[in-house]
Amino acid sequence: MNAVPVNYYIILSAILFTIGALGVLIRRNALVIFMSIELMLNAANLALVAFSSANAQLDGQIFVFFIMTVAAAEVAVGLALIVAVFRTKKSIDVDQINVLKG
Amino acid sequence: MDFELLPNLVTFSPLVGVLILFFINPEKKVLFRWVALLTSLVTFGISLVLLSNFDASNPNLQMVTNLPWIQVAGWNISYYMGVDGLSILLILLTTFLTPIALLSTWSAIEEREKDFNIFFLMLEVGMLGVFMAQDLFLFYVFWEFTLVPMYFLIGIWGGPERIYASIKFFLYTMAGSLLMLLAILWLGINQGTFAVPALIEMGGIPAGIQTWLFLAFAVAFAIKVPMWPLHSWLPDAHVQAPTAGSVILAGVLLKMGTYGFVRFNLPLFPEAAVKFAPMMAGLAVIGIIYGAIVSYYQKDIKKLVAYSSISHLGFVMLGLFALNSQGIQGGILQMINHGISTGALFLLVGMIYEQTHTRDFEVYGGLWKVMPVYGTVMLVVTLSSMGLPGLNGFVGEFTILLGAFGSEAIGSAWYAGLSAIGVILAAIYMLYMYQKIFLGPEGSIVQTVKEHGHALRDLSAREIITIAPLLVLIFWIGLYPKPFFTLIAPTVDNLVLVLQAAMG
Amino acid sequence: MNLSETVNTGYFFGLVPLLVFFPIAGMLFNMIFGGKMSEKAIGTVASAASGLTFVVAVLLAYSLSATHGELHQVFLAEWIHIGELQLDWTFRVDTLSVVMMLVVSGVGTLIHIYAIGYMHEDVRFKDDVRRFRRFFVFLNLFIAMMMILVSGDSYLMLFVGWEGVGLCSFLLIGFWYDFNILGQKSTENAEAGKKAFIANRVGDFGFLLAMFTTFWHFGSLQFDAVFESASHHPDPVVISAITLFMLIGVTGKSAQVPLYVWLPDAMAGPTPVSALIHAATMVTAGVYLVVRSAPLYNLVHSTSYIVAMIGAVTALFAATIAVGQYDIKKVLAYSTISQLGFMVAAVGMGAYVAGIFHLATHAFFKALLFLSAGSIILGMERGHHHLAHGHGDHDDADAHHDEEVFDPGDMRNMGNLRKQMPVTFWLYMAGTLALAGIFPFAGFWSKDEILLDAKLHAEHYPGVYWLLAAAAFLTAFYMGRQIWMVFFGKERTEVAKHAQESPPVMTVPLMVLAFLAVFGGALNLPGSHALTHWLEHTIEGVHAGEFDFMVAGVSTVLALIAIGISWLLYGKNPLKAGQIDPLKKPLGFVFTGMENKWFVDEGYGAVIIRPFEKLAKFLSIDLDWNFWHDWFHNEVVYAGFQGLAKFLADPVDMGIINAIADWLAEITKRSSEKLSSLQNGFVRSYALSVLVGVVMILGYLLLK
């Protein structure tokens, strides 16, 4: 079988992760930040699946399932938080959510 | 691993009453009065069953419950309860006096009555536990436990200076018992057991250490008795305590001290006991004379009775440290006698106080004419307290003085000879009190009470019921003390053998 | 008790506990039911109880004579059994105890009957009718206690009665506890009762020590066992100690020097009490004790001599005081002390029969004298009442209190009473002649026997005879003085003119006593010596003495001279109202001493009572309260604790430990202020820090 080399997956995963990280750092919209986080998670998933396939071991794939489950839960909690913040602040701009500063 | 129901039942049956009381509406005065009274009567009944199961000819512990309790790190603490000749009479005295004291509170305690009854029953549990416990650690737990209810009884329902008195009472007793705790721990750790009978059997504590242990125990007990000069808490506690509290304080709590001496100090440290006998007897003699003289100069009836307790308990201590059977048996009987006579005195003082709200001698006088029944009852109790032959006090005092007079351990007849002066002094201060209250022309109090719109009344039926059992015992012990001596004799004879061995 | 035994044997020894139970039953009956009974019924019950006791005593005497005076012991119950100490309630019937039982219950019953009449009036003069019942309750209790005293088989049982009669004495002296002897509101009577009890307790203290010594040396307190053991080990030191300790008890109970002071004050009690307790019975208990302990006293001569001297000195000393008294009962009281001195002197010299003989005759004539004196006092009170209330408006209580004080017992208020009270006069005369020792009255025989013994044993007991003879002389003198002052001359007050004779319920018992006072000598007449032979069964070594005309003649002549002198002083020229005593001038300060009882009470007050009160005050106020309770506990312990607490709290805790903690807090605060600027609240900056951190960690891991 002529498989795609594992390096490609890794590079793609790194690119995705960097996009996600930059999104978190640069964007102010909480929803976008949220999406960027998802992007980072899935970048990690991609890497795991790639290694799993390359090493012919199932551990990575099983781990991916866990991460997806946790991500789903995270989405639920995160969205709920964002809605709650929006209700009080009428905005989801993270630069305005700074009441915890020292 | 023994289990015998009766002693446990006696000790903890008042708790049932406490539990019931928790669930009664504090407004229902009559109900919880009766619940508390009936509980204490049931306890008394069970203690009579205990008595009927008691084998007077057996000098050893009976009806023993012995269960392992705290067994860690080589500590061998057990839940060890039992009855013998030293404790049976005191157990009965406790269960006997509690209902009487409770009955006396029906008109005396007016606020937070429910709490009062609860504390009282808890106090009974503690006292009974002290007399039943045969394990040093268990004993200590009960010993300290009695402090708490008594502290509240004085502190909540006491007189104007109750806080001072209750704290003084608590601190004094605590301070002494801490030394005892150290001694208990030393014994338990070094001898490998806390069980008293086992410790006695083991023996073999070096004389030097016995001295220290003896003193540690002695301080705790001497404060409780109280022996001169550690008596200063007593007048405060008695004067401030409510009547029922005084009755139990004088009747039972003080006996815990003298009981401690005879239960622990004498058999556990016989060599030290022999060594210290003259010193203890000396303190007892000072207490007898000192308490009697100081009583004479009191202006407050309750204070007089309180100081007279110091004198009377001096007799008990003198008897115990005579270390012969006359002295010790007399001493134990005198504990009972003092509980009855002084208990009755406090009851009677309380009865008049409820009507007049003063205890100052100066305003009294001529009450015998106004209250003939009260005057007669008080006369009998006064005479019993000053040791008139034919009444209970005499039997105890006579045997004590007789024992002390010929005691080898004390070593001199002077102690008993001087104490016999206490007999004269007792007549002086008791008659002084009786005369000030009952004889002479009518005192100003009669008029004062009239001005408040009611005359002094003689004893009510309830008051007579309260006091009558005590009167019966006063005559019974005075005329026919044999049943009482029979109960304590075998155990005391055993103890005397141990002590004689120590005397060499 | 043991009726079947009585039926079987025909003897009545089993009845002896009834001696105690009858009076107790009478007492309880009156206590319980007396409230609704009439005075007559109460008095009858009490007298019957006492009378039945007398019957039992007679039956015992009969049984004893039928069994040749052999000792009988009747066991009732066990009492105190501890080790060697074996004490029982056991009654003892022997010739000595039976004599005492007869005297006590016989005289006691007569006095009970008399008291029905006496108390009936007394409670009315003092406005408290309810106390009639109480009086008889106490009186019965007294009889019971006295019976325990004389019938006990051990020293301790004797002691029960001994203290019991002391209690009754206390209760009865202070019977009118809210008055003084003049009938004014006061605590004096109550004080007198207390004084008696305490003086007796001092004696009891000696008795107790005697018992302790006895027990530890002879191993028992039962009479026979003690005497048996003492005869085997007659250690003179021990026996001297025992007998001397016992003597302290005797001086207390039998009112001897130095503890006699309570007896004159005891006259505060109603007169029947003075007669019964303080003349006839209780005070003789000390004499009984010495006779009972005769085997011990016989073993040591030195204490016997001390006993005899105390008795003789008391006899003379009290007689001198009696000469200077004005109160009719006080004279009799000192006379009693003096006569008790005779008895004690007699038993001290080993003349036990003479002592008991005098005890019995004295019981008769002194009871007679006291009761007659009571009759006189009541007669005076009646006269006083008659004058004060004129037409007999008894209920006018207010008027009663406003009157000036009148002392019905003061002989200076009397005079010529033989006219108003003839029966009492003749009765009093009989008693006086008996007391003065005039032939052939009872007192003559008994006193003579004592004097005879004193004379015979003069070499062993030097001085006793002379003291007693002088006392006998003074006895006749003060009785003569009394007779002249009370019954002869002119009435010195209005009251004396209106004195009234007493009713038969009072005078009939007196006649019986008068009969005994006249013929009581028959008990032990020289020649027959009935009492001596009777007591021989119990007391070892008594022998009938010879009658000596010299001794008898001397004492009779002395008595007659004394009466003659008293006639010269008081009879020939009767005392007038307000006149001072004719003895005052010739005797001067000596008479002042007699009048004031030689200031013994004042001396005791200065030497014993006031120092004791000072000591009590010092101990209780200064030492116990101010020093120990307040200063030591409140100042030293409490304030010391407070000071320590303050020191630990302020300089130590706040200054050092707290300062360290504060410093730490300051550091933390400052540094955190600096650091807090890092937290700017921007999520993205946090995320950046996370990223930088991750990159740094990863970089480190890669480059490692």
| List of long-range contacts for B71-77, beta carbons under 8 Å, 24+ apart | B74/B189, B74/B192, B75/B188, B75/B189, B75/B194, B76/B188, B76/B192, B76/B193, B76/B194, B76/B195, B77/B135, B77/B137, B77/B138, B77/B188, B77/B194
Q: How far is C383 from chain B (nearest CA, A)?
A: 26
C680 contacts chain A (CB < 8 A) = yes
Q: How far is C449 from chain B (nearest CA, A)?
A: 36
- For B461-492, write each residue's pLDDT tens digit: 999 999 999 999 999 999 999 999 999 999 99
Q: Which of C432 and C641 is assigned the larger pLDDT? A: C432
Closest residue to A100, CB basis, from C681, C684, C691:
C681
Query: What residue type is assigned to position C212 of the chain?
Result: F
What ipTM does this complex have?
A: 0.90
| Average pLDDT of the residues of chain C | 87
User: For position C396, what pLDDT does the model report?
Assistant: 44
Residues of chain C positioned with their CB less than 8 A from the CB of B427? 197-198, 201
- For C492-502, write each residue's pLDDT tens digit: 888 888 888 88
Residue C295 structure tokens: 């085997």
Q: How far apart are CA C124 and CA C137, in angstroms?
A: 18
Q: Is the dihedral of CA B190, B194, B196, B201 positive or negative?
A: negative
Averaged pLDDT, C118-145: 89
- For B116-159, write each residue's pLDDT tens digit: 899 999 999 999 999 999 999 999 999 999 999 999 999 888 88
Per-residue pLDDT at B443 exceeds 90:
no
Query: What residue type is assigned to position C143 of the chain?
Result: I
Closest residue to C82, CB basis, from B389, B399, B431:
B399
Q: Which of C456 and C9 is assigned the larger pLDDT? A: C456
Residues of chain A positioned with their CB less than 8 A from the CB of C687? 24-25
Averaged pLDDT, C441-452: 89
User: For position C316, what pLDDT does the model report?
Assistant: 93
CA quadruple A35, A40, A41, A46: dihedral, nearest 10: 120
Q: How far apart are CA B324 and CA B499, in angstroms?
A: 8
- For C252-263, write each residue's pLDDT tens digit: 999 998 889 999
Percentage of chain C modeled with pLDDT above 70: 96
Q: Which of C287 and C2 is assigned the larger pLDDT? A: C287
Q: How far apart are CA B436 and CA C548, in angstroms?
A: 56
**B219: closest CA among B247, B183, B270, B252?**
B183
Per-residue pLDDT at C1 exceeds 50:
no
Averaged pLDDT, C594-616: 84
B442: confidence class by pLDDT, cuts 50, 70, 90:
confident
Residues of chain B positioned with their CB less than 8 A from the CB of C163? 388-390, 394
Residue A77 structure tokens: 């909690």
Do B368 and C208 make contact, defined as CB atoms within 8 angstroms?
no
Query: Where exactly are the structural domains of chain B?
Result: 3-226+234-503
Residue B179 structure tokens: 């030394």
Q: How far is B424 from chain C (nearest CA, A)?
A: 5
User: For position C611, what pLDDT does the model report?
Assistant: 86
Place of tokens 């004014």: C184
User: For position B1, what pLDDT does the model report?
Assistant: 61
Percentage of chain C modeled with pLDDT above 90: 39
User: For position C597, what pLDDT does the model report?
Assistant: 81
User: For position C503, what pLDDT does the model report?
Assistant: 87
CB atoms within 10 A of CB B462: 12
- Pick from B337, B385, B435 the residue to mutate for testing the C interface (most C CBs within 10 Å): B435
Contact residues for B195 (Cβ-Cβ < 8 A; gap 6+): B66, B76, B78, B80, B134, B135, B136
Angle, CA of B345, B351 and B355, to the nearest 5°: 145
The gap from C-alpha B6 to its chain's centroid, in whole angstroms, comes to: 23
Closest residue to B325, CB basis, from C82, C187, C616:
C82
CB-CB contact of C240 with C294 (8 Å)? no
Q: How far apart are CA C405 and CA C494, in angstroms?
A: 14
Among chain C residues, CA nearest to B388: C163
Query: Where exactly are the structural domains of chain A?
Result: 6-89
pTM over 0.90: no
Residue B260 structure tokens: 């401690």
User: For position C6, what pLDDT does the model report?
Assistant: 61
DSSP codes of every residue in C296-355: HHTT-HHHHHHHHHHHHHHHHHHHHHHHT--BHHHHHHHHHHHHHHHHHHHHHTT-HHHH
User: For position B440, what pLDDT does the model report?
Assistant: 86
**C149: closest CA among B381, B385, C141?**
C141
Averaged pLDDT, A87-97: 83
The gap from C-alpha B121 to its chain's centroid, in whole angstroms, comes to: 16
C394: confidence class by pLDDT, cuts 50, 70, 90:
very low
Do A26 and C675 make contact, defined as CB atoms within 8 angstroms?
no
| Average pLDDT of the residues of chain B | 90
Do A26 and C684 make contact, defined as CB atoms within 8 angstroms?
yes
Percentage of chain B modeled with pLDDT above 90: 53
Percentage of chain B modeled with pLDDT above 70: 100
C398: confidence class by pLDDT, cuts 50, 70, 90:
very low
Per-residue pLDDT at B330 exceeds 60:
yes
Residue C7 structure tokens: 């039926």
Residue C183 structure tokens: 């009938």
Per-residue pLDDT at C392 exceeds 50:
no
Per-residue pLDDT at C332 exceeds 80:
yes
C402: confidence class by pLDDT, cuts 50, 70, 90:
very low
B/A touch flag: 3 or more CB pairs below 8 Å: no
User: For position C393, what pLDDT does the model report?
Assistant: 46
Strands (E), C40-96: 72-82, 85-93
Per-residue pLDDT at B276 exceeds 80:
yes
Per-residue pLDDT at C639 exceeds 90:
no
Characterize the bridge pairing of strands C85-93 and B77-83: unpaired
Among chain A residues, CA nearest to C685: A25
- B453-457, C3-7, C356-360: the lowest-pLDDT one: C3-7
User: For position A2, what pLDDT does the model report?
Assistant: 59
CATH ID of A6-89, from 1.10.287.3510, 3.40.50.1400, 3.40.50.2000, 2.40.50.140? 1.10.287.3510
Averaged pLDDT, B85-112: 89
Contact residues for B154 (Cβ-Cβ < 8 A; gap 6+): B162, B165, B166, B169, B237, B240, B241, B242, B245
* Burial class of C55 by CB neighbour count within 10 A (0 to 12, 13 to 18, 19+): middle
